[in-house]
Amino acid sequence: MSMKSIIAVILVTLGIVVLAYSGITFSTPGKPVDFLGLHIETTHSHFIPPVAGALALVGGIVLLVVKPRQI
Protein backbone atom coordinates (compact mmCIF):
# COMPACT_ATOMS: atom_id res chain seq x y z
CA MET A 1 0.00 0.00 0.00
CA SER A 2 1.45 3.33 -1.03
CA MET A 3 1.71 6.39 1.18
CA LYS A 4 -0.96 8.13 -0.92
CA SER A 5 -3.41 5.29 -0.25
CA ILE A 6 -2.70 5.31 3.48
CA ILE A 7 -3.30 9.06 3.72
CA ALA A 8 -6.49 8.71 1.65
CA VAL A 9 -7.86 5.98 3.93
CA ILE A 10 -7.06 8.06 7.03
CA LEU A 11 -8.80 11.12 5.54
CA VAL A 12 -11.89 9.09 4.59
CA THR A 13 -12.06 7.51 8.06
CA LEU A 14 -11.68 10.84 9.88
CA GLY A 15 -14.23 12.46 7.57
CA ILE A 16 -16.80 9.75 8.29
CA VAL A 17 -16.23 9.99 12.06
CA VAL A 18 -16.62 13.78 12.10
CA LEU A 19 -19.77 13.62 9.96
CA ALA A 20 -21.25 10.79 12.05
CA TYR A 21 -20.97 12.83 15.25
CA SER A 22 -22.09 16.14 13.63
CA GLY A 23 -18.76 17.68 14.53
CA ILE A 24 -16.35 16.85 17.32
CA THR A 25 -15.69 18.92 20.43
CA PHE A 26 -12.59 18.35 22.56
CA SER A 27 -10.83 20.20 25.37
CA THR A 28 -7.17 20.92 25.97
CA PRO A 29 -5.60 22.13 29.20
CA GLY A 30 -5.10 25.87 29.41
CA LYS A 31 -2.93 28.06 31.58
CA PRO A 32 -3.34 27.57 35.34
CA VAL A 33 -4.30 30.73 37.22
CA ASP A 34 -3.23 31.56 40.80
CA PHE A 35 -5.51 34.21 42.29
CA LEU A 36 -5.66 35.15 45.99
CA GLY A 37 -4.25 31.79 47.05
CA LEU A 38 -6.62 29.84 44.78
CA HIS A 39 -5.21 27.57 42.09
CA ILE A 40 -7.61 27.44 39.13
CA GLU A 41 -7.12 25.10 36.18
CA THR A 42 -8.49 26.32 32.86
CA THR A 43 -9.42 24.47 29.68
CA HIS A 44 -9.88 25.49 26.07
CA SER A 45 -12.70 23.94 24.06
CA HIS A 46 -12.15 23.23 20.37
CA PHE A 47 -14.76 22.28 17.77
CA ILE A 48 -14.19 20.51 14.45
CA PRO A 49 -17.20 21.40 12.28
CA PRO A 50 -18.92 18.89 9.98
CA VAL A 51 -17.72 20.91 6.97
CA ALA A 52 -14.14 19.92 7.81
CA GLY A 53 -15.25 16.28 7.92
CA ALA A 54 -16.91 16.60 4.53
CA LEU A 55 -13.77 18.17 3.05
CA ALA A 56 -11.60 15.39 4.50
CA LEU A 57 -13.96 12.76 3.12
CA VAL A 58 -14.00 14.29 -0.38
CA GLY A 59 -10.23 14.79 -0.33
CA GLY A 60 -9.63 11.17 0.65
CA ILE A 61 -11.96 9.89 -2.07
CA VAL A 62 -10.23 12.08 -4.66
CA LEU A 63 -6.84 10.72 -3.58
CA LEU A 64 -8.11 7.16 -3.96
CA VAL A 65 -9.73 7.69 -7.37
CA VAL A 66 -7.25 9.93 -9.20
CA LYS A 67 -4.41 8.09 -10.90
CA PRO A 68 -0.97 9.72 -11.15
CA ARG A 69 -0.09 11.10 -14.61
CA GLN A 70 2.37 9.22 -16.76
CA ILE A 71 4.78 11.49 -18.67
What's the pTM? 0.73
pLDDT (0 to 100) of residue 66: 87
pLDDT (0 to 100) of residue 7: 92
* Count of all residues that appear for the chain in the document: 71
- Mean per-residue pLDDT, 12-32: 91
> In a 3-state reduction of DSSP, which class is residue 52?
helix
pLDDT (0 to 100) of residue 69: 67
CA distances from 16 to 3, 34, 53, 62 (A): 20, 41, 7, 15
> In a 3-state reduction of DSSP, which class is residue 35?
strand
pLDDT (0 to 100) of residue 23: 85
Spatial separation of the C-alpha atoms in residues 34 and 56, rounded to whole Å: 41
